[in-house]
Structure 1
Amino acid sequence: MTTDKVISGILFDKDGTLLDYVRSWVPVNYEVARIAANGDEELSRTLLRACGMDPETGHVLPDSLLAAGNTVEIATGMVAAGAPYTVEGLTIKLDGLFANSADYAVPVTDLGAFFADLHAKGYRLGVASSDNERSIRETAKRFGFENYLHYVAGYDSGFGTKPQPGMVFGFCAATGLAPHQVAVVGDNNHDLHMGRSAGAGMTVAVLTGTGSPASLAEASDYCLNDITELESVLR
């Protein structure tokens, strides 16, 4: 962590960071597996296990495909585990489902007010997600923070995928900031490793996703209960 530089920009993950992962995505994961299995219940359970989720309890393993993977990676994992699709065909189906999932998402706080406050304090703000860009924008629109974003990047936006550093570099290009002026905030190691590999000034983990203090400790400068505690470490 660079302690002698002021943080001027914040790049957030979406799922598990801005949105409560369990309440927002566990129901979607069941639907993902049902679609990928063409309604075959036994195969659906197999696909969930292959991608890191216990079909009985709904528990998702930290840094598993369903916790951190992008759509292509999830589709690839499910096809390898027996889903009767091509990766391309399943990716198209899942991207459509994910884009519509914003209608059912549960935010961890009043995101409109949260982003408005940070924007008023002069921070440059962005969202970088392993979800598709359309889904991010639909989420921002639904929860009233789209006008406070200086940058949006999904896995399909052309900046590469996590944990590669490209999304951070794209944020810097869009805002005029250097990486050491940026805090990266996320709920899993893909987010934190992206920040570290880009030379971000701060990596902040939150516990509203699939990670735990133990799983997130090595790559994070701070580990918070949720994003509402963020300003305490930015100061």
Structure 2
Amino acid sequence: MQAILFDKDGTLFDFDATWGAWASGQLKALARSELHLRGLAAAIAFDLDHARFYPQSPVIAGTAGEVADLLLPLLPGYERADLIASLDAAAQQVPLVAPVPLRPLLETFRAQGLRLGICTNDSEATAHTHARRAEIHELFDMIIGYDSGFGAKPEPGPLLAFADRFGLDPSAVVMVGDSRHDLYAARAAGMRGLGVLSGPASEADLAPVAVAVLPDIGAIPEWLRQQGRAGRDG
């Protein structure tokens, strides 16, 4: 293996801990009444009472444009471009909660000579901002968002753009993510898709389309060791 490509939300950062309170605040800011608030929450499958997304929410792996399209029917007078810009701007300030200490883990991968990337359905600008705030930005060779010009997951385009940038065979890249979108994209790109449970999806959701499902990215080093042992034994 020569590279690891990470999804961002739900993978590098715990999904509900990072986005639950933020989403609740955004919906309350947009709502005109309690009834309107409940309608907005239902539109994006968000559990207001527990400040978390339901596992089937399209927001989990969606782009800001897809989120805007779900909310706009309930927001007369809003322009799509303005709502997307507002969501993207607010997303850059979201509190970041990582499932494990990120910098030591990523430095371990770099010390092994692995290239690292982020491939998210968030905007590229937000991904850069979050990586800087988490003090891990310089550890990544490439950061790709839905608006980087390569398409969005589950399409393979952004994953292949990463492989192409560094002349890597896709089979030498592992895509790590917390949703089926990530794993479908990996499969379509010819990469290995590694699932993690730091997002809303369950092991039962991810296992059918993943080469393995781990509790979080902190378990990747041991998984890599196991792969190395299996290769030597084979």
SS for the counterpart of 2:46 is: coil
Match of 2:64, as an amino acid?
T
The code of the aligned residue for 2:189 comes to: A
Residue 10 of structure 2 aligns to a residue whose secondary structure is coil
Q: Match for residue 226 of structure 1?
A: 216
3-state SS of paired residue (1:66)? coil
Q: 2:28 corresponds to which residue? A: 34
The alignment yields a C-alpha RMSD, in angstroms, of 1.4
- 1:123-150 Cα offsets, whole Å, 9 max, x none, are 1100011111111111111222111111
Moved more, 104-113 or 8-17: 104-113
In structure 2, what is the Cα distance between the partners aligned to 1:11 and 1:166?
13
Give 2:232's aligned residue: none
1:207-235 Cα offsets, whole Å, 9 max, x none, are 11110011111111111100000122223
Would you say the 8 A contact 1:128–1:154 is kept in 2?
yes
User: Are the aligned partners of 2:19 and 2:52 in contact in 1 as well (CA < 8 Å)?
Assistant: no
Q: For 1:150 and 1:181, locate their aligned partners in 2 and report how far apart those are by CA, in whole Å.
A: 16
CA drift at 1:183:
0.3
Are the equivalent residues in 1 in contact too, given 2:160–2:189 (CA < 8 A)?
yes
- Structure 2 match to 1:69: 62
Match of 2:93 among 95, 100, 107: 100
| Aligned pair partner of 1:216 in 189, 206, 215 | 206
Question: Aligned residue for 1:53?
Answer: 46
Corresponding residue number in structure 2 for 1:3: none
Verify the 8 A CA contact 1:19 1:106 in the aligned structure 2.
yes
Task: Report 1:112-123 matches (<5 A).
Answer: 112-123=103-114
Q: Which residue of 2 aligns with 1:168?
A: 159
CA contact (8 A) 1:150 1:174 kept: no
Deviation at 1:87, TM superposition (A): 1.9
Determine which of 12, 17, 31 is the counterpart of 1:18: 12
Q: What is the CA-CA distance between 1:57 and the residue it aligns to?
A: 2.4
2:149 aligns with one of 151, 158, 165: 158
Question: Percentage identity across aligned positions?
Answer: 34
- 1:4 aligns with none
Residue-by-residue CA offset, 1:13-40 (whole Å, 9 max, x unaligned): 0011010111110011112322443x43
Q: In structure 1, list runs of 5 or more residues that go unmatched.
A: 1-6
Query: Is this contact kept in 1: 2:40–2:71, CA < 8 A?
Result: yes
Name the counterpart of 1:144: 135
Equivalent residue for 2:168, pick from 177, 191, 213: 177
Deviation per CA, 1:89-113, whole angstroms, max 9, x where unpaired?
Answer: 2111101111222xx1111121111
SS of alignment partner, residue 47 of structure 2: coil
* Conservation of the 8 A alpha-carbon contact between 2:120 and 2:146: yes
Alignment size in residue pairs: 224
